[in-house]
Amino acid sequence: MTATPYRILGALGSPYSLKMRAVMRYRRLPHVWIQLDPDNDFERTRVKAPVIPVIQYPDGGYHNDSTPMIYDLERRHAERPVVPADAGDAFLSFLLEDMADEWGTKFMFHYRWFAERDQKQMSEWLAYDRFRGGEARIRQFAAAFRERQVGRMAIVGCTPENAPVIEHTLRRLAAILERHVLTEPYFFGTCPSLAEFAWYGQLSQLIVDPTPNDLMREIAPFTVRWLMQMDDASGVEGEWRPGTPAAVVDDLLAFAGDIYLPFLAANARAVAAGEPDFALDLPGGRWSQGSFKYQAKCLEALRQAWAALPSETQGSLGPLLDRTGCLPFLAGDEA
């Protein structure tokens, strides 16, 4: 453990910021939380893509992108890892984390910027976080930020036409998690993995924003409380489970096989063909959006991780991934 703390430059309204803060808290890594404001915002320019959170390491260097940072911290600190020790579970946790980061963010973005009620409150709250005073400045910034974010909804697929899919898949995910948390708190044992922290990050926003907060407390009240506990798991003492992961992993993989991986594959095909947009049928309705190169890279990273697994690990995971519809997409031979 180093005496010099990590500095997390983030925001309460950023799911990836809260994901990384929760990881650091669980791992008991010395850190300070710094709310981004006009005085420190320049530090975002120290990374290639100025998106948050930005973390300054004890050596003075700046980093961002939550998944690479989590794996980098695993290499730097042996205590209380969040990547499961078993190679198969490590791969599954990576897949579930990726799904949270790339599909779960659609829940957050849709509910935050779709309805007038949420647009108004959250733009003003996020502006207050930034300035912490000065009503005129807060309201001016909130109005501009709201307009910007609403204008970006189509980029991430959060359109009125796609709303039925987003809302249907949230209800399915909430039901999966609600069954799980009433039995046991974690996916791969008695301690959390990077997958739980990724889902915590995205869903942490849904229990703050007004409309999804009402919904989540109605359909998944124990999941809401679980999310609150995930915010600081520094007191959790546990271990990885030998053998079969929790039943929730099977359910989440079925979610991936039905929704997330078909979405990634359709996007990747569009990117490869140079097509500006794509569409496919998903549970809840028809989905269409612009193609996105980053998410094509996500699918390629998952396929590379699968291909890199030892043959015996692939053999043990194969039936599970086949049963849940994930295997063809990971092997690159989906129809």
Share of residues in the chain with pLDDT > 70 (%): 99
Are residues 313 and 203 both part of a single domain? yes
Q: What is the mean pLDDT of residues 152-166?
A: 96
Query: Within this chain, do residues 133 and 218 fall inside the same structural domain, yes or no?
Result: no
pLDDT, tens only, 241-292: 987 888 999 999 999 999 999 999 999 999 999 999 999 999 999 999 999 9
pLDDT in tens, 64-73: 999 999 999 9
Distance between CA atoms of residues 132 and 66, nearest Å: 26
> Does some domain include residue 82?
no
> Number of structural domains, the chain?
3
- Residue 112 has a CB neighbour count (10 Å cut-off) of 27
pLDDT, position 335: 54
Instruction: Please give the model's pTM, rounded to 2 decimal places.
Output: 0.96
Q: Are 278 and 222 members of one domain? A: yes
Is residue 98 within 8 Å of residue 67, measured between CB atoms? yes
> Does one domain contain both 93 and 237?
yes
For 9-40, the pLDDT digits (tens) are: 999 999 999 999 999 999 999 999 999 999 99
1 falls within a domain: no
Tokens of 268: 């990747």
Q: What are 215-229's pLDDT values in tens digits?
A: 999 999 999 999 999
* Confidence band of 1 (pLDDT split at 50, 70, 90): very low
SS3 298: helix
> Is residue 45 located within the same domain as residue 135?
no
Q: What are phi and psi of 11, to 5 degrees?
A: -150, 145
Domain-located, residue 210: yes
Same domain, residue pair 164 and 217: yes
24: CATH? 3.40.30.10
Whether residue 297 sits in one domain with residue 171: yes
Domain range for 239:
87-110+160-331
